Structure 1
Amino acid sequence: MQTLSERTRSGISAVLSGDARGWRSRLLFAGPAIIASVAYMDPGNYATNIQAGAGYGYRLLWVVLLANLIAMLFQALSARLGIVTGRNLAEVSRDHFPLPLVWVMWAISEVAAMATDLAEFLGGAIGLSLLFGLPLVVGMAITAVVTYGILIVEGRGFRPMELIIGAMVGVIGLCYLAEVLIAPVDWTAAGIGIMTRALPDSAALTITVGIIGATVMPHAIYLHSGLTQSRAVARDNADRRKLLRFSNTEVVLALAVAGMVNMAMVMMAASAFHQGHSDVAEIETAYHTLTPLLGAAAAGIFLTSLIASGVSSSVVGTMAGQMIMQGFLHFHVPIWLRRLVTMVPAFAVIAAGVNATDALVMSQVVLSIALPVPMLALLHFSSRQDVMGEFRIGPILRVLAVLGACTVLGLNFVLLADFFDVPIPFLR
């Protein structure tokens, strides 16, 4: 179990009691949303964003914005559950659902955690392989060692882990700031793309499904509730209201950064590839195409961001997997064993000769199948008076959450149907 230092605990208590104020005091509450935001900048997003920008320029930026708003809502609800109940989503599910259903939820969520780690682990390995000219297996081994080293820090408490993940998020953000400065972005077209709701053709709808349909990550929903459940102990409902205000502010800021990174990915691809290279859809192709178009620096920055994304999201995915197992089964495994179990599928996939990009796509399909489990459970508990008390979400928020869930789950269904070649009239 992660802990806070006595100094940090004292600072949080001072803020809650009203004895400490100011922006520095608010930083004591920052961390959970920053860690959760990594899920929205993981390697699984790279190929989809590149494909959107290369194929349609700036015209699908509004989709990224919509996806980000839905993500903000559900991460805020997850944090709310942890703060109010003092338990994470997996634990609350175990407390309130029949045991057979709990076992099914755990099994599905465990597979989702492994699929998440597959995408993130491969993303970091691909970046290392391309940047340093290493065999993919060597890149995977380096990623495994680095992620395990960072996970060991988790045993030293909340703040060291939050600072490491926050630094990696900063690296990703700075890399894409540099990319949009290097690439000749058409800011007018980008503004129009954000404000104009349009789908140029049926293929654009498929990409839209990929962007929104995999936006809310199953492991991020579980993890955020766990990161907030015992981080700051609320003495009464007044304290809980303060914690919720701090949490909601952090969610908006952290997810806004994640959204801007995703928009920057699309804008970079639109600027570099849309005219003349609109068929670019894979990470490896994007890297090799960037070098002659924008120079080695731009290509190197792109891979640096991919490595930071892969390593940080792999760490976060392993943390979520631990939380899922402990919450559903009340069973703890050593971090080295958890890391070993979650990375075995990645090595098995590569050893079997499966294309790395194809493996990333398959992992997103698995996540799409698993997503309804935590999403619907979160909606259910957030609306229950006996679970949330006076903090149960109101009618307006409930309607927005249901609309967001219907959008994401409906698009996930379209994504799965398209993947398995089930005819869908409006996609043909």
Structure 2
Amino acid sequence: MAGPAFVVGCWGFGPGNLTTSIQAGSGFGYALVWVPVVSTLLMLTLADMSVRIGIQAPASLLSTVKDRLGTWVGYLAGGAIFVITLMFSVGNAVGSGLALSMLTGMPAIAGTVLCTILVAALLVLRNVYRVMEKVMVACMALMALVFVISTVAARPDMWKAAEGMVPTVPLGSTTVVIALIGTCLSANAAFFTAYGTRERRRTAEQYRDLTIADTVPGIVAPGIMTSLVVLVAAKIFGGPLGAENMVSSIGGLSKVFEPVAGPVGVWIFALGYFAAAFSAMTANATAGGTMLSDALGRGASSNTKTARVVSGFILTWGIAITAIFGGKSPVQLIVLAQSLTVLTAPILAALLVYLASRRDLMGSLRSKTWQTALGIAAVLIVTWFWIQLVIGFFQ
């Protein structure tokens, strides 16, 4: 049963998530622990809605949106997803280059190009989705092992962590909070869960087992890992350092694994960072191509010509932005790109909540009242931070 939700989880837990989590812990101590916890709960709600839609809807998700709400709404949603994947591609491209640079000593941009070529090679395989699932599950297992060991070795202050569960937005933390929400509460990743569910031909009778074996662990695991990274960074860097003193270099980020292996921690960090970047880059390009192809009416499969062309464009965009803007402050570029993913999230979250609540579409898998309430909460939260992001642009 495991597969689709793990793809979604790895997509969200990329280098942008890891970078932002370390900045949250180093800059603001334990104060932002609540962000990945609350975001993961709401992400689980949206992903579950997407799974149920993938099971019950007679057509793919974006095709269903067009049938129910009009073709223009489907185009709007497809465009929103495409924009988000472009933002994610930047963080993945920068992160992969930095990781390979640390592992091999090659220039970061060369690492980005090499990693992009490897992902492109995966995308030309005939059965792209099944191969991607296996890569994602393996990467998730590797990252989980490393982060759990790091947390045990660092011994963070759990009392302060508990205090951090009270929602606060410290002065100067807005961009980091938005970036964390953009990765932990990723509406476009939730959307793609429906496509993986259809790809695996899941049925209503399998829904309960699918929830236990895939949806819950696939979404909760990266949320837990994000929280652990925040805790370890808070302990290792002695936060809160304040917004101006957050860790802002790849070398500084790598210190998060010193409790595990001392100087070898840099290599361990680079390996985990590469796993995060490679898995997220693969999922992002595949999902973006598949869903835009569906929105344009060219087929809801990663094997369509349109999907492959769009996936190639997404990868190329990541390289281009990295080459132009990634030289001076790559870590800050990653955080900025992650925060921009919130720009179109309210539209996608609202569509999932609406479709999952329709009795004529969902039948016995229609959202219960509490599920709809959590979904609405997700929409309101991403809308609030969307407003904050827009206001920040004009200040």
TM-score tier, shorter chain, comes to 0.7 to 0.9
Superposition RMSD on alpha carbons, in Å? 2.6
CA distance in 2, matches of 1:222, 1:275: 35
Number of aligned residue pairs? 384
Query: Which protein is bigger by CA-based radius of gyration?
Result: 1
Aligned to 1:271: 235
- Which of these residues, 221, 224, 248, is aligned with residue 282 of structure 1? 248
- The answer (yes or no) to whether the contact 2:285–2:315 under 8 Å persists in 1 is no
Aligned to 2:220: 256
CA distance in 1, matches of 2:62, 2:240: 48
Aligned to 1:232: 201
Distance change >3 Å, CA 161–CA 215, structure 1 → 2: closer
- The answer (yes or no) to whether the contact 2:99–2:271 under 8 Å persists in 1 is yes
Q: 1:39-59: CA deviations, max 9, x gaps?
A: 331111123211221123223
CA distance in 2, matches of 1:345, 1:54: 30
- The answer (yes or no) to whether the contact 2:99–2:270 under 8 Å persists in 1 is yes
Distance change >3 Å, CA 307–CA 380, structure 1 → 2: same
Runs of 4+ deviating beyond 6 Å? 291-294
CA distance in 1, matches of 2:154, 2:12: 23
Deviating more after overlay: 315-324 vs 287-296 = 287-296
Distance change >3 Å, CA 133–CA 291, structure 1 → 2: farther
- Which of these residues, 368, 371, 382, is aligned with residue 408 of structure 1? 382
CA distance in 2, matches of 1:255, 1:407: 18
Deviation at 1:285, TM superposition (A): 4.4
CA distance in 1, matches of 2:337, 2:174: 20
Deviation at 1:68, TM superposition (A): 1.1
Aligned to 1:140: 112
SS at match of 1:109: helix
Corresponding letter in the other structure for 2:21: N
Identify unmatched segments of 5+ residues in structure 2.
299-303
Q: 1:287-345: CA deviations, max 9, x gaps?
A: 46558887222222122111001000111111211221232112232665344311222
1:181 matched to 2:155? The reply is: no
SS at match of 2:172: helix
Distance change >3 Å, CA 288–CA 366, structure 1 → 2: closer
SS at match of 2:354: helix
Distance change >3 Å, CA 102–CA 319, structure 1 → 2: same
- Which of these residues, 130, 134, 149, is aligned with residue 163 of structure 1? 134
TM-score normalized by structure 1? 0.81
Distance change >3 Å, CA 290–CA 30, structure 1 → 2: closer
CA distance in 1, matches of 2:323, 2:85: 21
Q: 1:187-215: CA deviations, max 9, x gaps?
A: 4443x246x41537333455434323543
- The answer (yes or no) to whether the contact 2:40–2:220 under 8 Å persists in 1 is yes
1:112 matched to 2:84? The reply is: yes
Q: How does 1:197-208 map to 2 (within 5 A)?
A: 197-199=166-168, 201-204=170-173, 207-208=176-177
Aligned to 2:314: 342
CA distance in 1, matches of 2:21, 2:87: 20
Aligned to 1:307: 274
Distance change >3 Å, CA 140–CA 88, structure 1 → 2: same
- Which of these residues, 187, 209, 217, is aligned with residue 246 of structure 1? 209
TM-score normalized by structure 2? 0.88
Deviation at 1:166, TM superposition (A): 0.4
Distance change >3 Å, CA 44–CA 182, structure 1 → 2: same
Distance change >3 Å, CA 255–CA 283, structure 1 → 2: farther
Deviation at 1:168, TM superposition (A): 0.7
CA distance in 2, matches of 1:119, 1:157: 22
Identify unmatched segments of 5+ residues in structure 1.
1-28, 235-239, 423-428
CA distance in 1, matches of 2:131, 2:323: 35
Deviation at 1:140, TM superposition (A): 0.8
CA distance in 2, matches of 1:360, 1:317: 15
- The answer (yes or no) to whether the contact 2:29–2:240 under 8 Å persists in 1 is no
Corresponding letter in the other structure for 1:305: G
Deviation at 1:391, TM superposition (A): 2.3
Distance change >3 Å, CA 199–CA 107, structure 1 → 2: closer
